[in-house]
Structure 1
């Protein structure tokens, strides 16, 4: 059954119709062997995962590859999901976070980069255009929110997880692998810096 689900986790660049969140009757632990559960899970979270990668990458092919890899990894590790520890979205963003870190690490190897290019999923022209538009929109939005890119990486990451993706500070701590107290400190400092930058920008308009 898992092999069948592997074939299904090859998402198109254009998103399917998505709901605001996973239906209450979807057990995330079932997505590894239940195609209907996987489809509902995928539709519920596709936009947020595309958004996560679109804010951090510039190549639509890379975004499509990492979205697919993230959902495939979720399928393969579904049995490890513990609903008592929190919602599915932070767990899925944690997977996306790890995939992105590996992606950047692997880019330092020419051999691995060539293998990634050869093995990447083929996208239709409309799919490429859709993802390029999403990437552009996310980057314009990031600037409008208050120059997120100017923040130190540790602060920017926490502000994005909490204020953009809607995670709680505790969930952001699990994604980033740091203590909740440190997340609160970084979040406070990041928000303070953003408010100051926004105020300064408005005063000079």
Structure 2
């Protein structure tokens, strides 16, 4: 990942906010990553709005960002995650809709040559979506930032403004719940 200094920001001992002129470069570098993360959470249409709003909030709060902390990306993910919380109902509905989608029925509608692994993958997505929809907010946020955004534990802690230990325990609990639920589904 890029350091704040490489983005045109100063990182000496005194905290320095993001220069408004640097925000365009930050957008160019990170908008695609944020869009990918948000799209997987709430769908493309809402995700575009959330990413745009993320950069608007970042611009409005640029004086609160301490460039000496290093990476700007975890801060942006934190803003995006907070905005996604507003769209939680949409996210939950989308995950539940995926969970209710019957992979077998969709396979029957398609061509007869549809591969078995495609059907299995669709069923797995439905089960996984149902599990994600039932996770507590913090566990889901931590898991998505880890798995989708590929952030390190420390970056997740910074993005969500929670202790590192809380990230580790939330991720552990989320993984355990996902594993158990998927294993239960396989046993059926």
**Highest CA radius of gyration, 1 or 2?**
2
For the aligned pair, the TM-score class normalised by the smaller chain equals 0.5 to 0.7
Q: Does 1:160 align with 2:135?
A: no
- 1:49 Cα deviation (Å)? 1.6
Identify the residue that residue 27 of structure 1 maps to in structure 2: 8
Distance in structure 2 (CA, Å) of the matches to 1:191 and 1:104: 20
> What is the total number of aligned residue pairs between the two structures?
146
Please provide the CA RMSD for this pair.
3.3
Larger helix share, 1 or 2: 2
1:125-156 CA distances to partner (integer Å, 9 max, x unpaired)? xxxxxxxxxxxxxxx7x937944334233211
Q: Does 1:179 align with 2:163?
A: yes
Identify the residue that residue 29 of structure 2 maps to in structure 1: 44
- 1:183 Cα deviation (Å)? 2.0
Equivalent position SS for 1:184:
helix
Q: Does 1:143 align with 2:128?
A: no
- Seen in structure 2, the aligned counterparts of structure 1 residues 145 and 22 have a Cα distance that, compared at 3 Å, is farther
- Seen in structure 2, the aligned counterparts of structure 1 residues 193 and 102 have a Cα distance that, compared at 3 Å, is closer
TM-score by length of 2: 0.60
What are the ranges of 5 or more consecutive residues in structure 1 without an aligned counterpart?
Answer: 1-19, 106-139
Distance in structure 2 (CA, Å) of the matches to 1:145 and 1:88: 34
Paired residue for 2:41, among 51, 56, 66?
56
Distance in structure 2 (CA, Å) of the matches to 1:77 and 1:144: 38
Q: Does structure 1 conserve the Cα–Cα contact (< 8 Å) formed by 2:3 and 2:70? A: no
Q: Does structure 2 conserve the Cα–Cα contact (< 8 Å) formed by 1:22 and 1:40? A: no
Equivalent position SS for 1:87:
coil
Aligned residue runs from structure 1 range 78-157, under 5 A: 78-102=62-86, 143=125, 146=128, 147-157=131-141
Distance in structure 1 (CA, Å) of the matches to 2:4 and 2:70: 15
Distance in structure 2 (CA, Å) of the matches to 1:30 and 1:166: 24
Identify the residue that residue 122 of structure 1 maps to in structure 2: none
- 1:193 Cα deviation (Å)? 2.1
Distance in structure 2 (CA, Å) of the matches to 1:74 and 1:175: 13
